[in-house]
Amino acid sequence: MNFYHCPFIFKRHNRLGDTISVLIGLENYAIENNVDSILVAENKLYAEFMDVFDFKHVKFDASIGGAEIDWIFKKSKLESSWLTRFAESFAKSMGGKYSGMVTIPQLKLPPIEQKENIVLFQLDSRSSKPIHNLDMLNILSKHKGQPYAVLGGPDTSHYLGNYANYRIGNLTYIIKQLLSCKYFVGADSGIAHLAGVLGVESYVYPGPYINIDDVRSFFSCYTKTKVNPIPKIKCL
């Protein structure tokens, strides 16, 4: 099969971590196989990523339809990093090569000149396996003494209450917050993967029912991310 100048069309459900894996995976696949362009569709989060990252081969086209691609992820190995999983799976499904190379597109946003002395937390884990309140208090205690703000979605108050200092916004806002913070602490989540892609110093705490070795594999491409078990300490 000749891959050059061959467009592919995809859509994916609206999850931040999966979107990162799909777009960066397709970009790396295209680089290795001399694919001129790969089209993605029907996911507004794709378009947001196109606005803030400089993708050379992956393009967003709102006018076209696409095919659901969840099944492609099943062809990757659990011990693969999240950034390699989609490119690896795509090569197995469509043919071509993938060496495991990971090239992260450059940001289009201007650099952050001054960092805040603040720790950003993202503590609402995936909805099916939420981290419990006590776990969150333990994590906060582990990082005590640091000024912090909660970076997350509208349901974050369900876990931490309305007294927390929240920072909530679109993708550009979240990226700027991550790049300006002292470091990031969070659950195994899309924002944690985004922090890893951005090279932000990060500490990830998987939920109690998630295999920590799998999570370490998923985050293994991020040089400044550490995956730790939830600390076993009592909180008042």
pLDDT along the chain (236 residues), means of 10: 60 82 93 90 87 94 77 77 89 88 94 89 59 64 77 66 76 94 90 96 84 92 92 56
What is the reported pLDDT for 147? 85
pTM of the entire structure?
A: 0.88
Distance CA 178, CA 182 (A): 9
Cβ within 8 Å of residue 116, ≥6 positions away: 180, 181, 182
Per-residue pLDDT, 6: 61
Please state, in angstroms and rounded to a whole number, the distance separating the CA atoms of residues 125 and 236: 23
> The domain 119-227: what is its CATH number?
3.40.50.2000
19 close to 49: Cβ distance less than 8 angstroms = yes
CB count, 10 Å around CB of 31? 15
Choose among 88, 110, 108, 120: nearest CA to 191.
120
Crossing angle (nearest 10°) for helices 44-52 and 16-33: 60
Q: Distance between CA 156 and CA 166 in Å, rounded?
A: 9
Kindly calculate the radius of gyration of the chain based on its CA atoms and give it in whole angstroms. Answer: 18
Distance CA 175, CA 178 (A): 5
pLDDT in the model for residue 220: 94
Report d(CA 43, CA 11) in Å as an integer: 6
Phi-psi domain of 95 (left: phi exceeds 0; alpha: psi -120 through 50; beta: other): left
Residue 62, pLDDT score: 82
Boundaries of every domain in the chain: 9-94, 119-227
The residues near 86 (Cβ < 8 Å, ≥ 6 apart) are 21, 22, 24, 25, 26, 72, 73, 76
The number of beta carbons lying within 10 Å of the beta carbon of residue 105 is 19
Residue 77 per-residue DSSP state? -
Q: What does the alpha-carbon distance between residue 57 and residue 73 come to, in Å, rounded to a whole number?
A: 21
Predicted local distance difference test score (pLDDT) of residue 48: 92
User: Which residue shows structure tokens 């990971």?
Assistant: 102
Residue 135: per-residue pLDDT:
67
- CB of 40 within 8 A of CB of 9? yes
pLDDT at 235: 46
